[in-house]
């Protein structure tokens, strides 16, 4: 495989999400990547909220049993 046809990977997801697509396939892939990034952030926030709720419940239950 010729080295000149291999592109360097993007430095970050933000850089990748800000590229200008060249062609329909790149547009579709970029849209899918943006959608997955939004879902990832939403799930990360949900996990943080669930962990906070779990800590709250442990503290509350601990006070009930004392």
In angstroms, the Cα distances linking 61 to 54, 65, 66 are 10, 6, 9
pLDDT higher than 60, residue 6: no
Hey, what are 32's tokens?
A: 């899918």
pLDDT at 64: 78
CB of 35 closer than 8 Å to CB of 19 = no
- Each domain of the chain, given as residue ranges in start order, spans 13-64
> For the segment 10-31, what is each residue's pLDDT rounded down to a tens digit?
567 677 778 888 899 999 999 9
């Amino acid at each position: 495989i010729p080295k000149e046809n291999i592109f360097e990977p993007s430095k970050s997801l933000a850089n990748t999400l800000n590229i200008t697509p060249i062609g329909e396939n790149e547009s579709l892939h970029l849209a899918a990547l943006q959608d997955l990034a939004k879902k990832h952030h939403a799930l990360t926030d949900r996990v943080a909220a669930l962990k906070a709720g779990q800590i709250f419940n442990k503290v509350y239950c601990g006070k009930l049993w004392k």
